[in-house]
C-alpha cells in the first residue's frame, strides 16, 4: 500500500510539474505571438462581422478610450478591457469612461436605490463585476515600483491575475479528471483548456482567467467533498462573473448526498459546514445585488441590451443569427459558425459528462443556459470557456492519438486566428 501511494504521489508531482511547464510555454508563446503578429501583419478595417462592429473597428474608433491606447502590452487589451482597467485604476465612477443616462421605471427600483440616483449618469463600468478589477488593483500596488504609467501598471497586473487564475484552472481540471482518465487524461484536459479557440482570453485583461480558476477549483473541491472551501471560492466566483451563481447547483447536489452510513438529516459539524458552503454563493449574489445590482441592471439593459433569462427574446435572436450562417456576408457567416459550433460542443460535452460528473455537467448546462438567454446573440465562444465538461469530453476522446493531434491542430489554428483579431481590436466575442 505504501509503495502504491508513493508511486501515485510521484506521478501526480510529475504531472503538476508538466502542467506548470505547459502553462509557462503557453503564456510565453501566446504573448510573444500577439507581439509578433502586429509587426508582420496589418488587417483591413473595419470589421463587418456584425452590424455594429463596423463603427467600433474603423480607423479612430479607439479615440477617447485612454485605457485602450497605452502602448505597454497593448495587444492584451481591447473591448471590455477598458472597463476592467478603469475600475482597477480609478474606480467605478471614472469620468474617463463613457456613461449613460438610464431610463429605469420607478417600479423596478423597489428595495434597490432611489430613482433620482439612477437617473444620474451611470458609468458603463457598472456592467462589470468587481472582484477581477479589485484583485488587479491589489496586484498592481507593488508593481508601481516599476515606474510604469498607471494604465500600464494595471494592464500588467490584470494579465498576471488572468494567468495565475488559468494555472489554477489547469490544476483543477487535472484533479477532476485524473481518477477516471489517469494522469495522462488530466494533462490533456489542462492542455485543451489553454489551446481552446477562445482560450487566449485567459491571458488578456479579461475576467475569464480568474473566473475559471475560482470555478474549476471549487468544482474540484466539491468532488473531494470539501464543501465549505468550495463555497468560499464559489462566492468569489460570483463576484467575478454573474454565472458563478450556477455553482450552487453542484454544491447542493453534493450536500444532498451524505457519506455512506450518514442519514440525509444527520447533523454533524461537517454537514453544517457543507450547508454554509452551499449558501455562500447565494449570499454573495445577494450582497452584490444590494450594492451594485441596480446600477448593473440599468447599464446592462440600457446600453448593452442584455438581461437575465430573456428566453423568448433570445430564442428569436439566435434563430435570426442562424439564418446568417448561410448569408451573403462571409465575415458574419464565419463568426456565427464558430458561435453555434461552440454552443453545440458545450451542450454535447455536458450531456456526455452528466452520468460521470453530474455536478460539473449541471454547472456547465447552467452556464450555457444563462449565457444563451442573455438576449444578445454573441460571445458564446468566449462564455463556453467556463464549461469544464468541454475539456473532459476532449480529454476522453483524446485517448486516441489521431483525435488528439487532429483536435489540437484545429484548435490551435483557430486560437491563432482569434488571438490575431483581438490583438488588432477586431471583434471576436
How many Å apart are CA 43 and CA 309, to the nearest integer? 37
Does residue 76 form part of some domain?
Answer: yes
Does residue 215 form part of some domain?
Answer: yes
Residue 267 has pLDDT above 80, yes or no: no
β-strand partners of 392: none
From residue 288, alpha-carbon distances to 229, 241, 273, 284, 294 in Å are 20, 11, 23, 6, 10
From residue 56, alpha-carbon distances to 32, 53, 62, 300 in Å are 26, 5, 8, 18
Q: Where are the beta strands (DSSP E) in 31-152?
A: 99-100, 122-123
The pLDDT of residue 415: 98
Does residue 237 form part of some domain?
Answer: yes
Does residue 281 form part of some domain?
Answer: yes
Task: Report the mean per-residue pLDDT for the chain.
Answer: 92
Task: Please give the residue range of the domain that contains residue 395.
Answer: 2-423
Contact 418, 428 (CB under 8 A): yes
The pLDDT of residue 119: 65
How many Å apart are CA 236 and CA 239, to the nearest integer? 5
Does residue 212 form part of some domain?
Answer: yes
User: pLDDT tens, 90-140?
Assistant: 999 999 999 998 764 433 333 334 444 446 889 999 999 999 999 999 999
Q: What b-and-e string marks burial along 367-391, b requiring 16 or more CB atoms within 10 Å of the CB? A: bbebbbbbbebbbbbbbbbbbbbbb
The helix or strand, by DSSP H or E, that contains position 283, with its residue range, turns out to be helix 269-288
* Phi/psi at 304 (5° precision): -90, -5
The pLDDT of residue 266: 58
Does residue 428 form part of some domain?
Answer: no
Number of domains in the chain: 1
The pLDDT of residue 115: 43
Does residue 429 form part of some domain?
Answer: no
Indicate the SS3 state at residue 182: helix
User: pLDDT tens, 357-386?
Assistant: 999 999 999 999 999 999 999 999 999 999
Kindly indicate the confidence band of residue 14, based on its pLDDT and cuts at 50, 70 and 90: confident
How many Å apart are CA 161 and CA 154, to the nearest integer? 10
Contact 168, 21 (CB under 8 A): no
pTM for this prediction:
0.92
Q: What b-and-e string marks burial along 77-97, b requiring 16 or more CB atoms within 10 Å of the CB? A: bbbbbbbbbbbbbbebebeeb
Does residue 197 form part of some domain?
Answer: yes
User: pLDDT tens, 52-99?
Assistant: 999 999 988 888 899 999 999 999 999 999 999 999 999 999 999 999
How many Å apart are CA 150 and CA 67, to the nearest integer? 10
DSSP annotation of 204: S
Kindly indicate the confidence band of residue 401, based on its pLDDT and cuts at 50, 70 and 90: very high
C-alpha Rg value of the chain to the nearest Å: 22
How many Å apart are CA 335 and CA 396, to the nearest integer? 28
Amino acid at each position: 500500500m505504501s509503495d502504491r501511494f508513493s508511486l501515485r504521489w510521484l506521478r501526480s508531482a510529475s504531472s503538476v510539474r508538466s502542467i506548470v511547464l505547459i502553462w509557462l510555454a503557453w503564456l510565453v508563446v501566446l504573448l510573444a505571438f500577439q507581439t509578433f503578429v502586429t509587426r508582420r501583419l496589418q488587417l483591413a478595417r473595419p470589421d463587418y462581422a456584425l452590424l455594429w462592429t463596423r463603427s467600433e473597428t474603423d480607423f479612430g474608433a479607439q479615440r477617447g478610450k485612454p485605457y485602450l491606447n497605452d502602448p505597454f502590452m497593448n495587444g492584451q487589451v481591447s473591448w471590455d478591457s477598458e472597463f476592467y482597467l478603469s475600475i482597477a485604476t480609478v474606480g467605478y465612477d471614472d469620468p474617463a469612461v463613457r456613461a449613460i443616462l438610464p431610463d429605469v421605471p420607478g417600479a423596478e427600483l423597489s428595495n434597490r436605490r432611489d430613482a433620482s440616483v439612477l437617473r444620474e449618469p451611470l458609468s458603463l463600468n457598472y456592467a462589470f463585476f468587481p472582484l477581477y478589477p479589485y484583485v488587479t488593483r491589489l496586484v498592481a500596488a507593488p508593481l508601481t515600483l516599476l515606474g510604469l504609467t498607471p494604465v500600464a501598471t494595471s494592464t500588467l497586473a490584470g494579465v498576471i491575475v488572468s494567468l495565475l487564475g488559468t494555472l489554477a484552472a489547469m490544476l483543477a481540471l487535472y484533479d477532476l479528471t485524473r481518477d477516471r482518465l489517469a494522469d495522462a487524461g488530466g494533462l490533456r484536459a489542462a492542455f485543451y483548456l489553454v489551446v481552446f479557440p477562445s482560450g487566449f482570453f485567459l491571458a488578456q485583461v479579461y475576467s475569464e482567467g480568474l473566473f475559471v480558476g475560482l470555478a474549476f477549483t471549487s468544482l474540484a473541491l466539491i468532488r473531494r467533498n470539501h464543501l465549505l472551501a468550495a463555497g468560499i471560492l464559489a462566492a468569489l466566483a460570483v463576484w467575478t462573473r454573474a454565472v458563478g451563481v450556477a455553482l450552487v447547483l453542484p454544491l447542493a447536489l453534493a450536500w444532498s448526498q451524505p457519506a455512506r452510513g450518514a442519514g440525509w438529516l444527520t447533523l454533524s459539524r461537517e454537514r453544517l459546514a457543507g450547508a454554509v458552503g452551499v449558501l455562500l454563493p447565494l449570499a454573495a449574489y445577494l450582497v452584490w445585488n444590494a450594492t451594485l445590482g441596480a446600477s448593473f441592471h440599468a447599464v446592462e439593459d440600457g446600453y448593452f441590451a442584455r438581461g437575465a433569462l430573456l428566453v423568448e427574446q433570445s430564442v428569436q435572436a439566435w434563430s435570426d443569427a442562424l439564418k446568417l450562417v448561410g448569408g451573403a456576408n462571409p465575415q458574419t457567416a464565419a463568426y456565427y459558425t464558430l458561435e453555434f459550433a461552440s454552443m453545440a460542443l458545450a451542450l454535447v460535452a455536458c450531456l456526455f459528462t452528466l452520468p460521470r460528473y453530474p455536478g460539473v455537467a449541471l454547472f456547465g448546462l447552467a452556464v450555457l443556459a444563462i449565457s444563451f438567454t442573455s438576449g444578445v446573440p454573441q460571445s458564446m465562444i468566449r462564455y463556453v470557456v467556463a464549461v469544464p465538461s468541454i475539456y473532459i469530453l476532449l480529454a476522453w476522446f483524446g485517448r486516441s492519438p489521431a483525435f488528439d493531434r487532429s483536435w489540437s491542430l484545429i484548435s490551435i489554428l483557430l486560437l491563432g486566428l482569434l488571438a490575431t483579431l483581438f490583438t488588432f481590436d477586431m471583434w471576436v466575442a
